[in-house]
Amino acid sequence: MYFYIRQIKFPKKFPSIKTYFNSKIIQINNQQKQKSRENNLRVQRDIDVLLDKIQKEGFESLTDKEKDQLYAKSKFLGKNIDKN
């Protein structure tokens, strides 16, 4: 979600409006970052469960579905490492 409010020049008699919108933009950005962190932690927990199973029972014990999940989630998490 992008806001272009920062490009608007507010008259000097409305500084509180500019402050209000800037604080809302910061709040929304922080919420998005928090959701991203929570999602990454959830994916990491799912990967950890699969890796624990591999450690205990071996890679061949994974079903095809679990192997696909491990690959997809590892790829997803690898893409998001640089962003955070």
Residues 83, 35: contact at Cβ < 8 Å? no
Position 1 scores a pLDDT of 46
Looking at the structure of the chain, the number of domains it has is 1
Residue 62: give the domain boundaries.
Answer: 58-84
Supply the pTM of this predicted model.
Answer: 0.63
Considering only residues 3 and 45, tell me which one the structure prediction assigns the higher pLDDT: 45
Residue 68 lies in a domain: yes
- Burial of residue 77 (number of CB atoms within 10 Å: 0-12, 13-18, 19+): middle
Residue 47 lies in a domain: no
Considering only residues 5 and 58, tell me which one the structure prediction assigns the higher pLDDT: 58
Residues 47, 73: contact at Cβ < 8 Å? yes
Tokens representing 77? 């998490």
Position 7 scores a pLDDT of 54
